[in-house]
Amino acid sequence: MGWASRAALTLLAAMLGAMTLLALPDPAPSCLEGRVFDDRGAVPGARVRVQGTKICSRSDGRGRFRLSPLLAGRRATAWREGYFIGGTDSASDPSIFLKRLPSDDNSDYEWVDPSPSAAEGQNCANCHAEIYREWSSSGHARSVEGRHFRNLYEGTDWHGKPDSDWGLLTQHPDGAGVCASCHAPTTEAFGSRRIRGVASSGVHCDYCHKIESVADGQLGLSHGRFNLRLLRPKEGQVFFGSLDDATRGEDAYSPLYRDSRYCASCHEGIVFGVHVYSTYSEWQASPAARQGIQCQDCHMKPTGRMTNLAPGHGGIDRDARTLHNHRFFDGSQEEMLRRAVKATVEIERGQREVRARVCVWSEGVGHCLPTGFIDRHLILSVEGLTPDGRTVDSIEGPILPALAGEKLAGRPGRLLARVLKDMEGRTPVPFWLAAPDPPLDTRLVPGRIEEIHFVYPRHMARLRLRVWYRRFWSEVTRRKRWPNDETLVFEQVFSPPL
């Protein structure tokens, strides 16, 4: 090594030394030592945190904790099972008092309205404006008043005309009370009378955040609220959630909120003997479940836009990646569907015919595609085109059934759906008139590739592959006079080699 490089090294070492000196933490004021206690004394094993950060530790056998370094202006918080979250009041007093959760659920509790109110009330939207906006545009907010739901429940059409076709109250009135347990969890009575007040907000904020644990009823048979244990206070408030450092004094942490089991009681349901809702059991069997990916990871993924849960109302600035969306979709369902549906085509041109091997699968979905309400379906259309763009029928391969609707029935393709039949074998039928035998299920199973073969005449020049998503059978949409809401989620044109 020459003298020049040796000098450079010495200089570098000196600079590094100076930098380490500069970067050394200031020990005394940034380290906080304190104690967690309750009405009886020390609370050992509490989770202690510098609020809004990842820095945490646990209180020891005598309730003492040490947190370092404490960021300027941040409080320390503590939580243990059975308690509200507590926090330090000031930097000079490092002790944290933990208040016990109420021991019993109060069934006389009055539900808080989620929507904004003019008065300085407890209404969630008054402080959580952004979360409220997201929730309002989600299905959870429409689970009672949604027009499709109402029409199918009451037997009305889009314009409110009674006795039109499918209707639970008209076709199976004895089953009227069954829907409330999931769709209107805060009402006892759910009959022909219209629900009023907070209960008409469906699956609302206050209900979801009073869920304390999952009961031990059999999933699928014990529906919605009958399988969820609540903790409603006699006085004051209790809000359970996934933050262990919210310190309004009314907040409590529960790990259940980051777990698929939280969603299971409402998203798994055998109704009138028919397995109508199977999203949770589909998830249990999925690669996502094996990798530990929960419903919330995909459906409540942070938008990255929210940095404060209650700006101007006591919320603190937080990392946007730790706050979850209440739209319950990553962007929108349409965007998720577009990202989820994948397909490739291999085309082989023979002497007299063209053979196509179509592969369809789903990606980034933690259950079958589609899932949810039993009438949801995808239509895969595999259309041959002549050089001038006219359609060519296939010679071999599956064709779409009448259920796909007038426009598409008989054309090459496949229906990806669960198809219920009634006792006489008729279809489509509402689930309340269906025979209990498991329906034919042709949906996309996560991790599995569907391979379908088609043969077209020689003059077929291109292949147009399209996938539509529909929420309801087209025949029902037509008879209910619903606006058409089918969504094209995949479209690609493939050309065979010359």
- Residues of this chain, 239-298, that bind ligand HEC according to CB under 6 A: 239, 241-243, 246, 248, 251, 253, 257-258, 260, 262-263, 266-267, 269, 271, 277, 279-280, 283, 288, 293, 295-298
Q: Cis ω on the peptide bond leading into residue 436 (within 30° of 0)?
A: no
Give the integer Cα–Cα distance in Å for 341 and 333: 12
- Phi and psi at residue 379, in whole multiples of 5°? -120, 120
Whether the CA torsion 220, 221, 225, 228 is positive or negative: it is negative
Residue 452 contacts ligand HEC per CB under 6 A = no
Tally Cβ neighbours within 10 Å of residue 277: 22
Q: Which of residues 320-359 bind ligand HEC (CB under 6 A)?
A: 323-324, 326, 328-329, 333, 336-337, 340
How far apart are the C-alpha atoms of 63 and 4, rounded to whole Å?
Answer: 59
Residue type, 404: A
| Euclidean distance between CA atoms 376 and 473, whole angstroms | 8
Of the pair 315, 398, the CB lying nearest ligand HEC is at 315
Interface size with ligand HEC, residues (CB under 6 A): 94
Q: Give the integer Cα–Cα distance in Å for 356 and 66.
A: 67
Q: Name the minimum Å distance from CB 52 to ligand HEC.
A: 7
| Residue 198 Cα distances to 115, 125, 130, 449, angstroms | 9, 13, 20, 45
- How far apart are alpha carbons 344 and 449 in whole angstroms? 10
Q: How far is CA 434 from CA 156, 171, 394, 416, 478, in A?
A: 20, 12, 33, 19, 21
> Scanning residues 384 to 443, which ones bind ligand HEC (CB under 6 A)?
432
Enter the tokens of residue 62: 């005598």
Q: Does 78 bind ligand HEC (CB under 6 A)?
A: no
The token pair at 123 is 């209404």
Sign (positive or negative) of CA dihedral 442, 289, 213, 197: negative
- Residue 238 touches ligand HEC, criterion: CB under 6 A: no
Nearer to ligand HEC, 309 or 380 (CB): 309
* Near ligand HEC in 6-65, by CB under 6 A: none
Q: Which residue, 188 or 388, is less far from ligand HEC as judged by CB?
A: 188
Residue with smaller CB distance to ligand HEC, 326 or 418: 326
* Residues between 157 and 216 with contacts to ligand HEC, criterion CB under 6 A: 168, 175, 178-179, 181-183, 185, 203-206, 208-209
For ligand HEC, which residue of 75, 275, 367, 443 counts as binding (CB under 6 A)?
367
Residue closer to ligand HEC by CB (options 324, 418) is 324
Q: Measured from the CB atom, is 183 or 414 closer to ligand HEC?
A: 183
Binding mask 301-320 for ligand HEC (x = CB under 6 A): --------xx--xxxx-x--
Looking at the Cβ atoms of 29 and 249, the one nearer to ligand HEC is 249
C-beta of 265 vs 394, nearer to ligand HEC: 265
Contact 212, 229 (CB under 8 A): yes
Task: Pick the piece of the chain touching ligand HEC (CB under 6 A) from 28-36, 41-49, 191-199, 372-380.
Answer: 372-380
- The Cα–Cα gap between 289 and 184 comes to 28
Q: Which of 37, 65, 83, 132: binder of ligand HEC (CB under 6 A)?
A: 132
Tell me which of 34, 63, 114, 412 binds ligand HEC, using CB under 6 A: 114
